[in-house]
Amino acid sequence: MIKKNFYNKLHGGIKLQKRLIKKSNFTYRNLLRLVTKYTKGSKNALDIGCGTGTISLYLANKKMYVVGVDISINAISQAKKNAKFLQLDSKTKFYQLDFPKKIPGGKFDLIICSEVLEHLDNDQVAVQQIHKLLKNRDSRAIISVPSLNAPLYKMGFLRDFDKRVGHLRRYSPNSLAELFRKHGFRVLNSEKTEGILRNLLFTNGIFGVFVKFLRGPLADGFTFLDKLTIKLFGESQLFIVVAKK
């Protein structure tokens, strides 16, 4: 109950989503790039930790049937409202449940689990459940987590942030890959993303106000500079794409 209340509070005061995001969306562009690459032929998807349904609705608009799950009843309530407003409620189902203790029924061609594992008490059980929920060896799961190598984290600036948003751990590229290999997965792709500039926007409230202004060429230019900082200082986020062995 304490955990549910914590995430309900994080999802308080949410506004209606009045339009679908685009592939170039600054916040989700790294995830959507991988989604575009690995969703060919996918007919249904599971969005674990779907929040208010932003990614679920994007996928539903791409002719997929999408199930979204989240621990927050506030987030799920808003996701349903968003789906109805965007006329995608017939292609989506949203459920409030405490993954991985509970899982939805069915098997899925695609599973998205973005910025979730670091919040869970038992990430090993979560990975086992993801394995169970994937339909077959051609199905894909796309995972993202915060990196242990994040420059701001190593400098000690993200300790309070991690506590505030409920992060229980961070991952290195090796520890993340090993976690999935240990539980019957093969790694199809792994990427280091989000440099110190981008990470600063998403972890600092003062700088975060600038995110809404990063569109079009400005967003592209910022992304180019941010990628340079990854080579110089290290990544703040990790992505991994996996499939059953």
pLDDT tens-digit map of 179-204? 999 999 999 999 999 999 999 988 98
Q: Of 28, 84, 29, give the one whose Cα is nearest residue 60.
A: 84
Q: Of 115, 129, 138, give the one whose Cα is nearest residue 55.
A: 115
Inside any domain, residue 229: no
Inside any domain, residue 228: no
Given a cut of 70, whether residue 175 has pLDDT beyond it is: yes
Given a cut of 80, whether residue 19 has pLDDT beyond it is: yes
pLDDT reported for residue 10: 61
Inside any domain, residue 39: yes
Inside any domain, residue 211: no
Q: What are phi and psi of 45, to 5 degrees?
A: -145, 155
Strand-by-strand arrangement of the 140-146 sheet = 92-96, 65-70, 44-48, 110-114, 140-146, 237-244, 185-193
Helix ranges (DSSP H) in the chain: 2-10, 29-38, 54-60, 73-85, 123-133, 151-154, 159-165, 173-181, 196-203, 205-208, 216-233
Q: How is residue 6 written in tokens? A: 């914590």
Inside any domain, residue 223: no
| Cis before 100? omega within 30 | yes
For the chain, the first-to-last Cα distance in angstroms comes to 36
Do the beta carbons of residue 145 and residue 176 sit within 8 Å? yes
Inside any domain, residue 219: no
Predicted TM-score of the model (pTM): 0.92
| Type of residue at 133 | L
pLDDT reported for residue 216: 76
Number of neighbours of residue 89 by Cβ within 10 angstroms: 17
pLDDT reported for residue 48: 98
Tokens 């998403």 correspond to: 202
Given a cut of 60, whether residue 4 has pLDDT beyond it is: no
94 vs 223, which has greater pLDDT?
A: 94
Per the DSSP assignment, residues forming a β-bridge with 95 are: 69
Domain with 65, as residue range(s), is 2-195+235-244
Compute the chain's Rg from CA coordinates.
Answer: 17
Q: Exposed/middle/buried for 157, CB within 10 Å: 0-12, 13-18, 19+?
A: middle
Give 1's pLDDT tier (boundaries 50, 70, 90).
low
The number of distinct structural domains making up the chain is: 1
Inside any domain, residue 16: yes
Inside any domain, residue 100: yes
Q: For residue 17, what is the domain's CATH number?
A: 3.40.50.150
What is the pLDDT averaged over residues 75-91?
96
Query: Which H helix or E strand runs over 68?
Result: strand 65-70
Task: Kindly state the percentage of the chain with pLDDT values over 90.
Answer: 80
